[in-house]
Amino acid sequence: MTQNAFTTKNLTKVYGEGETAVHALRGVDLDIPAGEFVVLLGPSGSGKSTLLNIIGGLDRASGGQAWFLDRELTAMSDRQLTRYRRDHVGFVFQFYNLMPSLTALENVELVTEVAEDPMTAEAALAMVGLSNRADHFPSELSGGEQQRVAIARAIAKNPTVLFCDEPTGALDSETGRTVLTALRDVNERLGATVLIVTHAAATANMADRVIYFSDGSIREVVRNPTKLSPDEIEW
Amino acid sequence: MVSPLDRKLLRDLWRMKTQALAISLVVAVGVMLLVMMSGLVNSLDETRRAYYERYRLADVFAPVVRAPDRVLTSLAGIEGVSAAEGRITGSALIDMPGSDLPVQARAVSLPDFGQPRLNAVYLSAGRWIDRRRSHEILLLKSFADAHGLEAGDILSATMHGARRSFEIVGIAQSPEFLYTTAPGELVPDDSRFGVIWMSRTAMEAAYDLDGAFNEALLDIGREEDLPSVLAAADRILDDYGAVGAYGLADQFSNRFVAEEIAGLRASSAGVPPIFLAVAAFLLNIVISRLLQAERQQIGLIKAFGYTNAEVTAHYFKLILTIAAGGAVLGCLLGLAAGAALIGVYVQYYKFPFLVFEIDPASFIIAVSASVAAAAFGGLFALRRIFALTPAVAMRPPTPPDYSGTGRFGGLLKRVLDQPTRMVLRRFVRHPGRSLGAIAGVSAGMALSAGMMTVLAGFDEAVETTFSVIDRSDMSVSFIEPLPDRTLHALAQLDGVIEVEASRTIPVILRNGVHSYRGGVSGITSGARLQRAVDANGQALTLRGDGIILTPALADILQLQTGDRLRADIRQGRRPQLDLVVTGIAESLLGAPSYMELSALNRALGEPNRVSGTYLRIDPLRRDAIYAALDAMPVVAGISVKQDAREAFQRMMDNGAGAMRFVMAAIAALITFGIVYNTARIAYAESAHDLASLRVIGFSKGEAAFVLLGELGLIVLLALPAGAVLGYGLSHAIAAGFSTDLYQVPAIFSPDSLGVAGLAVLAAAIFSGWMVKRESDRADLVSALKSRE
């Protein structure tokens, strides 16, 4: 039996208090096996991004517990969370969040300089097919290229897990496919657990496991034995 | 009904309130200074003018030895003279109970009936003197206050060698004696110089001047007539021992007040614009940033059909609100500060009344200047609105273009890590802004350093004047030139260690069209107590046919070492001497000149005469020496160096001198304002990047490096620039503070530069800490969800 990358027990998150309180997570119990490609689906405000942020070490839970492997994330200090993000986690966001003042290669080097056991920045760029754009600044790259640099930056540290929040949200379908292909490659070649939050239901077809969110809870978890490649997905 | 755009304006303002407040405060300080200082200057100037006019202060002063009253008719007949008055003045020594040292004073006659035609006095307490009672006097208020004397008190004074008792019947003020200084000294001191008014009859008796006067006062109708009136008065009074008539501008008290007011006026014109320029610079940056962040909203507003002009007006209102808010606050603060300070100044200048006058124009100038400065700064940024089409504005922003900032290659690539590259590229991408910030911080530091250097310069001035040039303990002046054997008698006094002769003679020095009225000091060659020394503190050699000038004097007369000048001696047989300038001596107080004593006496045909002496004494015998000198009828005055030194220090610490501290505080404020705003802007621009760095796994400290690196770089570059600039500026400030009355040396003061540098560092650390705290608290998730 494979080890779980993440386990949560009765995880809750409440924003605000009193009458205006918003219950973003209402007691989530979840196991995510290591090395899987997982897609989180659900309408806006259903809690999927909140879960991603908590187990990604960006936000704190209001109640319950969450573990990364055998370490309890919900008990970690700020400093420990920083360490966790630095050593194990890669992030990809809808709006890339590249440093405009660094070239593509330098954006990746930003991570390889501080990570424990990184690949070379050049190798990371090669994985997303951007070796020829290494010396360009973000302002000189297209949206898809910027997102692939963001992915290269996220994978360069050889992360244990890769979190992606709407990675294709700002891209056209062709570029989206390229980005998804890059993510799948990371999953398969590096063995990293990949978690993708998305509105695009079609993405679910390439996942090992699909988790449906609704109103702060998990409605359903579906295992998908017949993974499609990104090229086969209908958008 | 508030329009939606205006509501947006209010909310925008609220959102950026700290930033807006910081800029408003910079504007407010500038406006406050402008309103306050111009109000002060106007009020002081106006009060002085009104005081002079109401009390009919003379335009021309013409001292003589003795002139019969009938000469006044000739003086009144000079063309351009509207009034002439003769009076008697004389030196006196007042015995203060409880002090062995008599205080020098000047006795001035008042007409037997009523106020004089010129130089009237203001009776602030008591009553007028009765001409039939020769022991009744009026006493100068500032002196009376300094010694706690009141009407009804009895005072003992020595006049012309005779000691008498007087009754103070009234306390008086006069525009002629706003500042009082003991003869031979330059620094005003209320407590060490008194003025006594007595009836003409009593003065004639005391100074043996029956039916005669020894000072003529003239009033002239038009300023332009002054030179011809002076010349005519000198001609008429020549036979009566004229020392030389001079105008109000050369009158000591007036000169002092005028210079102080002029100093205030210069500061009021020079300082506020610095603040407004800083505010304009900051507004430009902040508005640019705001427009960048709101480009989408601008596109939206434009898409709804708003015109460029309307959108521009919207943002311009924001600028106006910040600027006008600051300006109004500044006006109120300026009024309050002016009202609070004017009382202090009126007391300091000893005006009996106050004409409070704040020129409404100063408000208009202040408000419009600040709005104009802000508009200038903002409009540059607002031009961008016109370039934005709705479609472009609605598209997600492309990342800021850094492609022009250079790709690091070779060595640099190995040396610089990524965060350092981010800092450097941000710095290079906005060269104007970076250089502006460096210029601002270094200018602020330079101003601080310059002011502190000048403070140190003042201290050095005091030290040089009272320890290097003058090494005596006290100086004694005689009522008339005496044979130098008098000094032997002084040398015999128990406790007198060293005695040195001196003779000071009124003189007019001329070089072509340049001339200077003052005194020439005759000192003995090889003098040890009062010396002419060069810039290195080495004594200069005196020559029989030579004169030694001070830098200020050499400047006034446009002379250098080796040049020749003419000296019109205004005493005795009044010789005219042709002298060569043999050296330039340091002098920080006044503009003295030095000649060899025996050569001066030879020229006068009065060998072996002295008018005063410098003494070095045993401090333990001080009181006995004071008492012995007080008992000598020939002694006109005694000046103790320590008292003069303290009076000088007081003058430097108060009044216009205190403006130095205000300027230093202002400089610190400007520096801090720029440093803090630089930090805030850097944070606003990099908040998004910082969140990304934190997500990637950078610790708070590592992310802060990117945030504060730019500030650090600016400060690091500004420090040496500020030091160099400060050194240069200290010369300009020293020259600005120097007057005829005292010179401020420009020195190199590493301490001042160091302290100013540390102040900049402290401001940077504090500002950095403030924004880092904010950055640490920022919510990572929401920072990343927003599209910048």
CB contact under 8 A, B697 and A109: no
Measured between alpha carbons, how far is A234 from B236 in angstroms, rounded to an integer?
118
Chain B touched by A93 (CB under 8 Å): yes
What order do you get walking across the sheet with B212-220 strand by strand? B81-87, B212-220, B60-68, B246-247
Q: How far is B23 from chain A (nearest CA, A)?
A: 28
Weakest-pLDDT range from B63-72, B259-268, B621-630: B259-268
Measured between alpha carbons, how far is A162 from B354 in angstroms, rounded to an integer?
79
Whether residue B75 is predicted with pLDDT greater than 90 in this model: the reply is yes
Q: How far is CA A176 from the centre of its chain?
A: 15
CB contact under 8 A, B399 and A114: no
Interval B139-183: pLDDT, tens: 999 899 989 999 999 999 988 878 889 999 999 999 999 887 776
Q: How far is B705 from chain A (nearest CA, A)?
A: 13
Chain B touched by A16 (CB under 8 Å): no
- Three-state secondary structure call for residue B263: helix
Q: How far is A109 from chain B (nearest CA, A)?
A: 7
pLDDT at A98: 83
When CB atoms are compared, the residue of A89, A93, A99 closest to B784 is A93
CB contact under 8 A, B697 and A110: no
| Distances from the Cα of B13 to the Cα of A83, B110, B236, B287, B293, angstroms | 38, 68, 75, 12, 14
Q: A222 — phi, psi (to 5°)?
A: -120, 130
pLDDT at B22: 77
Measured between alpha carbons, how far is B786 from B687 in angstroms, rounded to an integer?
11
- Which residue in chain B has the smallest CA separation from A107? B418
Measured between alpha carbons, how far is B224 from B244 in angstroms, rounded to an integer?
19
Chain B touched by A95 (CB under 8 Å): yes
CB-CB neighbors (< 8 A) of A89 in chain B = 697
pLDDT band at B429 (very low <50, low <70, confident <90, very high): confident
Within chain A, which residues score under 70 in pLDDT?
1-2, 234-235
CB-CB neighbors (< 8 A) of B696 in chain A = 85-86, 91, 110-111, 114, 153
Q: What is the mean pLDDT of residues B30-50?
A: 86
Measured between alpha carbons, how far is B422 from B440 in angstroms, rounded to an integer?
23
Q: What is the mean pLDDT of residues B538-554?
A: 86
**Minimal CA–CA distance to A101: which of B435, B431, B423?**
B423
Q: How far is B334 from chain A (nearest CA, A)?
A: 45
pLDDT at B213: 94
Whether residue B553 is predicted with pLDDT greater than 60 in this model: the reply is yes
Torsion angle in degrees (nearest 10) through CA of B568, B569, B574, B579: -60
**Minimal CA–CA distance to B707: which of B764, B669, B781?**
B764
- Three-state secondary structure call for residue A130: coil
Distance between terminal CA atoms of chain B? 32
What b/e readout covers B329-367, taking b as 16+ CB neighbours within 10 angstroms?
bbbebbbebbeebbeebbebbbbbebbebbeeebbebbb
CB contact under 8 A, A86 and B698: yes
In what helix (H) or strand (E) does residue B197 lie, and over which residues does it extend? strand B193-199
Torsion angle in degrees (nearest 10) through CA of B124, B127, B131, B134: -90
**Minimal CA–CA distance to A208: which of A191, A230, A228?**
A228
CB contact under 8 A, B399 and A137: yes
ipTM: 0.76
CB-CB neighbors (< 8 A) of A81 in chain B = none
CB contact under 8 A, A101 and B426: yes
Q: Average pLDDT of chain B?
A: 83
CB contact under 8 A, B781 and A103: no
Chain B touched by A103 (CB under 8 Å): yes
Which one-letter amino acid corresponds to residue B42?
Answer: N
CB-CB neighbors (< 8 A) of A55 in chain B = none
Q: Which of A220-224, B271-275, B286-290 has the highest mean pLDDT?
A: A220-224
- Which residue in chain B has the smallest CA separation from A166? B785
Interval A4-24: pLDDT, tens: 899 999 999 988 777 778 888
What is the residue whose two structure tokens read 């050095």?
A: B460
The number of C-beta contacts closer than 8 angstroms across A and B is 97
CB-CB neighbors (< 8 A) of A114 in chain B = 696-698, 702
- Which residue in chain A has the smallest CA separation from B395? A170
Tokens of A150: 């963001």
- Which residue in chain B has the smallest CA separation from A88? B697
> Residue B715: beta bridge partners?
none
Measured between alpha carbons, how far is B636 from B183 in angstroms, rounded to an integer?
10
Interval B557-606: pLDDT, tens: 899 899 999 998 888 788 899 999 998 888 777 778 999 999 999 988 88
Measured between alpha carbons, how far is B610 from B476 in angstroms, rounded to an integer?
11
Mutate which of A93, A99, A153 to test chain B, going by most B C-beta atoms within 10 A?
A99
Q: How far is B284 from chain A (nearest CA, A)?
A: 22
When CB atoms are compared, the residue of B396, B426, B695 closest to A58 is B695
Q: What is the mean pLDDT of residues B419-446?
A: 82
Q: Are A229 and A73 in contact (CB under 8 A)?
A: no
> Residue B548: beta bridge partners?
B583, B594
Residue A207 CB contacts under 8 Å (≥ 6 apart), including other chains: A36, A37, A38, A39, A196, A224, A227
Measured between alpha carbons, how far is B432 from B421 in angstroms, rounded to an integer?
19
Measured between alpha carbons, how far is A26 from B620 in angstroms, rounded to an integer?
93
3-state secondary structure string across B597-664:
HHHHHHHHCCCCEEEEEEEEECHHHHHHHHHHHHCCCCEEEEEEHHHHHHHHHHHHHCHHHHHHHHHH
Burial of residue B9 (number of CB atoms within 10 Å: 0-12, 13-18, 19+): middle
Whether residue B1 is predicted with pLDDT greater than 60 in this model: the reply is no
pLDDT at B785: 61
What b/e readout covers B286-301, taking b as 16+ CB neighbours within 10 angstroms?
bbbbbbeebbbebbeb
Residue A74 CB contacts under 8 Å (≥ 6 apart), including other chains: A11, A54, A60, A61, A64, A65, A66
Measured between alpha carbons, how far is B157 from B195 in angstroms, rounded to an integer?
11
Cβ count near B408 (within 10 Å): 17
In what helix (H) or strand (E) does residue B68 lie, and over which residues does it extend? strand B60-68
Q: How far is A59 from chain B (nearest CA, A)?
A: 7
Q: How far is A41 from chain B (nearest CA, A)?
A: 18
Measured between alpha carbons, how far is B377 from A137 in angstroms, rounded to an integer?
30
Chain B touched by A153 (CB under 8 Å): yes
- Three-state secondary structure call for residue B243: coil
Mutate which of A68, A92, A97 to test chain B, going by most B C-beta atoms within 10 A?
A97
**Minimal CA–CA distance to B556: which of B589, B511, B505, B522?**
B511
Burial of residue B266 (number of CB atoms within 10 Å: 0-12, 13-18, 19+): middle
What is the residue whose two structure tokens read 């360009």?
A: A136
Q: What is the mean pLDDT of residues B111-140?
A: 91
CB-CB neighbors (< 8 A) of A99 in chain B = 418, 422, 689, 692-693
pLDDT above 90 covers a percentage of chain B that reads 22
Q: Are B647 and B190 in contact (CB under 8 A)?
A: no
**Minimal CA–CA distance to B482: which of B387, B646, B610, B607?**
B610
Whether the predicted model's global pTM rises above the 0.80 cut: no
Whether residue B788 is predicted with pLDDT greater than 70 in this model: the reply is no
Residue B97 CB contacts under 8 Å (≥ 6 apart), including other chains: none
Cβ count near B267 (within 10 Å): 20
Chain length of chain B: 788
